[in-house]
Every structure is written in C-alpha cells, then in structure tokens.
Amino acid sequence: MDLYAALRPLLFRLDPETAHNLAFWLGERVCSWPHLPQPQHPDALRRTILGLDFPTPLGLAAGLDKGATLLPLWQSLGFGHVEIGTVTPRPQPGNPKPRLFRFPEAGLILNRMGFNSEGAEVVAARLRNRPAGLIVGGNLGKNKETPEAQALDDYRAAYRLIAPQVDYVALNVSSPNTPGLRNLQAPEALKPLLVGMLEVRKEMGLERQPLLLKLAPDLAPEDLDAIVEVAVTAGISGLIATNTTLDRGVVAEPLRTRVVAKGAGGLSGAPLKAKAREVRRRILASLRGRLPLVACGGLGSAEDIQGALDDGAALAQIYSALIFEGPALITRIHQGLVAKEF
C-alpha cells in the first residue's frame, strides 16, 4: 500500500507550509528508527560524475530539505544524492507567510520562501551526523540584507562552515525570491564571485571538491552562452539547470489567472518542464562537453529523467513531482530507467 497516497488528501487539505512541517515531523520520527531499509540499486544505474560515485543518477533537488534534517530517510527512499539548502550564512526567517502555494491539477508549485534558513552553523553541526554512503551537496546563498557588492563575503562564510561536511557545493545565484540575487548571474558580477569561491576552496584544501553553479531558466540565450564561458574559464566543476521560473506564460489559462493572483514567486513543477529543457539544451550546446550539467526543473517521470540524460545531462534532480506523487515515484523512475519503458 502506498501510504503517501492514502495521506495525501489529508495533507493537501492543509496549508502547504503546514503540511510540509507535518511531513517533516513525521519524517524525523522515521529517521529515528534504528534500521531503515537500504536500497539496492542496479549496476546499470551507477555512474561516476565529478569524481563521485553515484549509485543512481536521480537526486533530490535543493529547497525541500533546507536544513539536512531527513538525510537517512532520503537515502532509504532510494535517492542517489541529496542537495540540502539553500543555506545562508546567518539564520533568517525568509519572506512573510503565506509564501507557498500548490496547484495539484497542474503539478505546479509557487513559492516565495526567501531562503528561510537556520543558518550555516546549525546546518553544519547537523551534517556532522549525516548517514554514511549518501552523496550530499550543500546549496549556498546570501542573506537577504547583504548588499550585492558584499555577496561574496556571504558565500564564503557559508562555504567555510558547510563545505567540510558535504561532497559538493552548489552556489545559488538564481532564486527569484531574494532581491537582486539573480543580478549575480551577469558575467561581470559572476566572474569575481566564482574566482573568489575557488580561492576559498583552495585555502581550505578542498580543491578536489566539486563546486557547481545553479542557473535560472529566465535568461536570454546569449546570456546563457556568456555565463557558460565565464564558468568554464573560471574553472568551476559544473552547472545545475534550472531553478524556478518567473514566467507565468508556462501556465495555461484559466489556471494562469489564479497563479498570478497569488502574487510573486518562482514556479516549479510540470509546467516548467519544456522551458527548463530548452534552457538546458542551450547550455549543453554551449558547454560542448567541457563541464557536466545536472538537470533540474519540471522533471517527474522516468521518461523525463531519461530525456535529460539523453540530452547530455550527467545527473538529474526532482522536487515538485515528489510532493504530488510521493516516495513511490522514486521506485517507478528507477524501474523505468532500467527497463527503458516509458
């Protein structure tokens, strides 16, 4: 029996953030079990990317487990890697509530959470007890009140605490919910940020740890090309595409009117799929194999994941689809990838 399918009607009657907190409370109880089952992934799914051995290309995207509280559960459910965060250097509450909305009929989520974070010190302490055998990435961002000109200081501060506790680090400069953050994607702002982060990585003796950059889906094609060149020239390890979109045009009417009425925020889920794939294909064409790309944005089935891999992505991540379909989705994706039946 799919327990999540049985609980979903109850959870979806609740405010989305209340439901999220309840689900995490239950998840923490599960994580306290002494012997959580450990999945056995077929060898066909294994791959070595970024110098790391992934048991499966399927991972959990950043944004769901912001504080690294449910890592044993994600491992037990079968994820090959988990990206925690976004983690800010100092604690912050995020944007005012309500700030999270779901539209189940379209598999769509709107969020303007605004990097609600316990802060890097708290998350780093929790990561010291992370489960063995699970690849964990740390997604980092700046605090809301930090000026763009001082963003590097924030990323470096978070990195110093989080990087020693994770397998790779992702720099989030693409959330639409922190004012001015996406301006850091401009090549003239991005180059000194990446160079500065590579310097602190070297200072800490972590040169072999992958450093990735997560991009927005709302960039013009020529801007994507420029960002790729900056990333390659700087010497970072890879890219993640994409974050949420501000483009309400991905939502068909009459739902679009309802979405617009909810106000600001980024959109994720099935309606983002086509736009995110178009952006990824442009990035992959510009990369020409020089850096690996992690696919994210609108993925929700084995067919979606295989399509991203066929396009040239090295790994793939899900988030919104997990909210609507539950943990059984992970098994369905793995079965589909192995059987190549979509």
Residues catalogued as catalytic: 175
Query: Are 100 and 109 within 8 A, CB to CB?
Result: yes
DSSP state for residue 127 in the 8-state scheme = H
For the record, the structure tokens of 263 come out as 């106000």
For the chain, how far is it from start to end, CA to CA, in angstroms? 23
Q: How far apart are CA 142 and CA 95, in angstroms?
A: 14
Q: How far apart are CA 91 and CA 199, in angstroms?
A: 25
Quick one: which of 108, 115, 119 has its CA closest to 16?
A: 108
User: Would you call 38 helix, strand, or coil by DSSP?
Assistant: coil
Quick one: which of 208, 131, 133 has its CA closest to 164?
A: 208
Q: Which residues pair with 53 in a beta bridge?
A: 48
